[in-house]
Amino acid sequence: MTESPENGIASAPPYEVRRFRQEDADGIVKLFKEVYGDEYPIRIFYDPEALGEANRSGEYYSVIARTPAGEVIGVHHLFRSAPYRDLYEWGVGLVGKQYRGAGVSARIMTYMEDVVIPQLGMPAVFGEAVCYHLHMQKMCVRLGYVETALGVALMSAEAYSKEKTSSTRVAVVLGFKCFKQRPQTVFLPKVYERELRFMYEGIQDVRTFAVSDQDLSPDRTSSAEMTVFDFAKVARIAVHETAADFASRLDQLETRAVNQGAVVLQVWLKLSEPSVGAAVEVLRRRGYFIGGPLPRWFDVDGLLMQKLLCPPDFEEIQLYSDRAHAILDMIRRDYQRTL
């Protein structure tokens, strides 16, 4: 959940909270320009027509706070970013500078929880709360989102340059909330069994755990797709199936990612595969370390593994909960193994 912190005034003019209408698009663009200038990397928020089409198609659902005069003073979004199309990310929330501290963001989030998510029948929702302030992390914990993973050095500092909020790459805490149960068997890589059992605690769903003990199959081929985000210098590799050729397939994708300037590599594996532990060992030999489990990521659960080609700044990571601190400690120890 990328968002601007609320730390300003204590009151705001009367406003309503509701879902997006096309007439709101110009106000959202104006709000983004006020907060981020022209530098926010997701360009749809500067294109009123594209934002309207995204809301009509279901790629995005925008929820706004709007005054009777028509000023959009805050907005949050639900949008697709995971392989499973019915799992939405909650994020890209911001409030106008003069209205921060008035509870605008909290009211939008409550409306989304109470009205929008049930109305749309979403089975699960997750967010990536940035770690340069605690505001959104606190709100997510209060709303019952369970922190399961942490992405180190994920966001480029340039995205927040107008806000002057961070001088280093920004980490994110991933929190999940399950609204409809999807019981499943999760195979835990032996090397991370203790860590993953802890990271799964509190998830509002049914999981049966087994230890992954199978080899990668020589009878299949690996299936994976990669997206490189040039503005963030991040490559994300969704692995739909692993087989004995996984190492060579990974080498091909890594070479492409580095040639495109990626300095953060994320790999998503399926925890439904009995051979996921063998795939993890391939990644560990190449300098990857754990990020954490991703409930419903492929509909079945995923596992985040990550690799850095840039120095992390663990000391700059701000975390709210004891649980998040414990997850970071596990991740940091595993990262140290790669040095």
In 3D space, the residue among 105, 102, 70, 68 whose CA is nearest the CA of residue 90 turns out to be: 105
Full residue range of the structural domain in which residue 297 is found: 184-329
Say if residue 5's pLDDT is above 70: no
| Residue 335 counted as domain residue | no
Mean pLDDT value across residues 291-318: 97
- Please tell me whether residues 44 and 163 are part of one structural domain: yes
Q: Write the pLDDT tens digit of every residue in 173-231.
A: 999 999 999 999 999 999 999 999 999 999 999 999 999 999 999 999 999 999 999 99
Q: What is the pLDDT of residue 8?
A: 47
- State residue 110 phi and psi, 5-degree precision: -65, -40
Q: Write the pLDDT tens digit of every residue in 118-173.
A: 999 999 999 999 999 998 899 999 999 999 999 999 988 765 555 555 568 999 99
In 3D space, the residue among 128, 134, 127 whose CA is nearest the CA of residue 154 turns out to be: 128
- Please tell me whether residues 301 and 278 are part of one structural domain: yes
For 144, residues 6+ apart whose C-beta sits below 8 A from its C-beta are: 177, 204
Q: What is the pLDDT of residue 211?
A: 98
Mean pLDDT value across residues 279-291: 98
- Please tell me whether residues 211 and 144 are part of one structural domain: no
Query: Are 309 and 255 a contacting pair, CB within 8 Å?
Result: no
CATH code assigned at 113: 3.40.630.30
Mean pLDDT value across residues 4-26: 80
Say if residue 320's pLDDT is above 60: yes
pTM exceeds 0.75 for this model: yes
| Residue 319 counted as domain residue | yes
Count other Cβ atoms within 10 Å, centred on residue 245: 14
Q: How far apart are CA 189 and CA 204, in angstroms?
A: 22
| Residue 117 counted as domain residue | yes
- Please tell me whether residues 188 and 171 are part of one structural domain: no
- Please tell me whether residues 140 and 47 are part of one structural domain: yes
Highest averaged pLDDT of the listed ranges 1-10, 154-163, 232-241 = 232-241
- Please tell me whether residues 61 and 189 are part of one structural domain: no
| Residue 334 counted as domain residue | no
| Residue 164 counted as domain residue | yes
Q: Which of 156, 178, 200 is the last residue of a domain?
A: 178
Q: At residue 201, what is the residue type? A: E
Q: Retrieve residue 37's tokens.
A: 């200038």
- Please tell me whether residues 301 and 256 are part of one structural domain: yes
Look at 1-10, 24-33, 136-145 and tell me which has the smallest mean pLDDT: 1-10
- Please tell me whether residues 294 and 193 are part of one structural domain: yes
Q: How many domains does the chain divide into?
A: 2
Q: Which of 129, 147, 178 is the last residue of a domain?
A: 178
Q: What is the pLDDT of residue 13?
A: 84
Q: What is the pLDDT of residue 19?
A: 98
Q: How far apart are CA 157 and CA 261, in angstroms?
A: 16
Share of the chain above pLDDT 70, in %: 94
- Please tell me whether residues 267 and 314 are part of one structural domain: yes
